[in-house]
Amino acid sequence: MVSFDAYFSESNHFFLQEDPWQNVRILIDSFNENRRTGFSPGRNIVVDEVMSAWKGQEGKYAASGAPHVTKIARKPEGVGAELKAAADGQTNIMLSLDIMEGKERQGNKKYAHIGSEGTAICMRLCEHYFASGRVIHADSAFSSVKTCRHLRDHGLHFMGCVKTARKFFPIKYLKSFEDDYGHGREKERGGWKLVQSNKDEDGNEHEPIYGLAWYDRKAKFIVSSCGATHDGEPSLRKRHKRRVENNEYVTRVWYKQVKRPKMVEEFFSCFSNVDIHDHYRRGSLEMERNWITKKWYHRIFTTVFGICVVDAFFAYKFECQNAAEEAEDFNYFLGRLAHQLIFNVYLDQGMAMRDNQEQNEDDEMVSHASYGHR
């Protein structure tokens, strides 16, 4: 049997030159296919980036280095192989992954002809759910009016915050709301303004797209193809203050409420799901820190394996949401999972069944041989 490392050795150098990510291509494709056929997400899907931390060699400097390394200074683990991911908004379970392979190779991927990298990524990650009417949530790295229109053309709704992708988005008009409170008046926290467009850039009629500005401490801008503007549940902000009572310091805790429309509530209801998933994988599981390796494809395997472990926890947590508090404890779950994987009763049963089958076949062969001898 050929080992994993031996398979991708010098003898496959020409093959790897054709696709430098071939070492992990089948892993990512198999993961996506498994999620497509084995899991049905809820109404909301979240798109965001995932980092596979890597501080080893890079492909542009060394033949055995990672083909492409992304460097994002603002992230806790900001150097490594970047993957874009889609996750279920209800359970946090990962649905699909897409490797960032560098500018040239990204330009040859499916939907790259659209002309927007963020739009193409959303299309690739969510193409299995076209025409399902689900709502895609994304941050400013993916959000634009173009993304909203293309997803809607394929039967998906979209909600995304907008920062720099301002084409066809009336951000100056929406920002003017802040100026209304500039003359000695206090700005209203929780206020909002909505615009609606029923035409594209060519003047053709289409289903409405909405631009909403919500004013909290700073204005937040959302482009969406669905949602409502009636009052939603207020946003709760935890506040605390030290006070002296009976000659002792005590902490007074309360919650500040900021009103918001239903559209904003729905958008933020699962906006951080991928980040929460990352906190469990990198901060609690820590396989990428503890498994030392010099092979970049081992590191990506570690990342995908960690994603599967965290997905198992979220599935367990979702199924046991009305059970004991242990369902909320990730370390408790890891202990049970490790024990059951080591002492796998289903594997033992399978081995026992195979042993019994082989024994029956041996008995049958002996019986036939005895009959023939007679």
User: 336-358: per-residue pLDDT in tens?
Assistant: 888 888 888 777 665 555 556 55
The answer to whether residue 41 is domain-embedded is yes
- The candidate with the shortest Cα–Cα distance to 66, out of 294, 224, 312, is 294
Alpha helices, DSSP H, located in the chain: 4-7, 13-18, 22-38, 103-106, 117-126, 145-153, 171-179, 262-268, 273-278, 287-290, 296-319, 330-342, 345-373
Same domain, 130 and 277: yes
The answer to whether residue 368 is domain-embedded is no
Q: pLDDT (tens digit, 9 = 90+) per residue, 166-203?
A: 777 787 777 776 655 544 445 678 888 888 888 777 77
Same domain, 77 and 180: no
Residue 57's domain comprises: 20-134+271-328
The answer to whether residue 323 is domain-embedded is yes
The answer to whether residue 9 is domain-embedded is no
Average model confidence (pLDDT) for the chain?
A: 83
The answer to whether residue 69 is domain-embedded is yes
Same domain, 108 and 151: no
Say what the pLDDT of residue 15 is.
44
The answer to whether residue 181 is domain-embedded is yes
- The parts of the chain modelled with pLDDT lower than 70 are 1-17, 177-187, 322-327, 348-374
Same domain, 122 and 40: yes
Say what the pLDDT of residue 7 is.
46
Same domain, 277 and 130: yes
- The candidate with the shortest Cα–Cα distance to 358, out of 366, 369, 1, is 366
The residues, ordered by sequence, that sit 6+ positions from 338 with a Cβ below 8 Å of its Cβ are none
Same domain, 277 and 264: no
The answer to whether residue 110 is domain-embedded is yes
Say what the pLDDT of residue 365 is.
45
- The candidate with the shortest Cα–Cα distance to 89, out of 289, 309, 323, 314, is 314
Say what the pLDDT of residue 374 is.
43
Q: Could you tell me what percent of the chain has a pLDDT over 90?
A: 40
Same domain, 216 and 147: yes
Say what the pLDDT of residue 358 is.
56
- The candidate with the shortest Cα–Cα distance to 147, out of 111, 116, 106, 113, is 116
Number of domains in the chain: 2
Same domain, 46 and 104: yes
